[in-house]
């Protein structure tokens, strides 16, 4: 007998073994209903790292300022958002929109400005932060 003549019979036998016949009920595996106490651990809460302070020329008097200091410089903010112990103040005028982010320098301390972002009011394109600060200060009476 030629070996190639046996190939169809061998393939048919192999495929029949893969048939979808039901071989009995499927057994389910159950997980323990309780996790051993030794494997459950509460997350460790630590103090957040100190905020990174942006240091750019032209931002003197803004970086490190408190919310009250900023209100004296720019007037009331257009937007004042509090999230946890952080705060975002937004000032706007024709030339630009200024976002100032305040974070406490240490737990329990008053938030201080650590970062400033500026964009054009018309199309939200980035603008020079120091120029925006200067323009918004000049509009104050």
CB 114 within 8 A of CB 52: yes
Higher pLDDT, 138 or 89: 89
Domain residue extents for the chain: 67-138
pLDDT digits (tens, 9 = 90+) for 16-59: 555 555 555 555 555 555 555 545 555 555 555 555 555 666 78
**Lowest-confidence pick of 3-17, 48-62, 84-98, 116-130:** 3-17
Please compute the mean of the pLDDT values over residues 75-90 and round it to a whole number. Answer: 94
Render 12-59 in DSSP notation, one character per residue.
HHHHHHT-----SPPPP-PPPSS--GGG--PPPP-PPPPPPPP--TT-
């Amino acid at each position: 007998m030629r070996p190639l003549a046996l190939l169809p019979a061998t393939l048919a036998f192999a495929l029949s073994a893969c048939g979808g016949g039901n071989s009995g009920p499927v057994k389910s595996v159950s997980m323990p209903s309780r996790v051993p106490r030794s494997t459950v651990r509460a997350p460790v809460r630590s103090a957040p790292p100190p905020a990174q302070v942006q240091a750019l020329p032209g931002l003197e008097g803004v970086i490190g300022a408190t919310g009250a200091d900023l209100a004296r410089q720019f007037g009331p903010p257009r937007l004042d958002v509090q999230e946890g112990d952080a705060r975002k103040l937004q000032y706007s005028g024709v030339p630009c929109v200024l976002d100032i982010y305040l974070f406490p320098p240490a737990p329990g301390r008053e938030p201080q400005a650590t970062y400033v972002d500026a964009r054009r009011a018309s199309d939200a394109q980035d603008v020079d932060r120091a120029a925006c600060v200067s323009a918004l200060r000049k509009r104050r009476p």
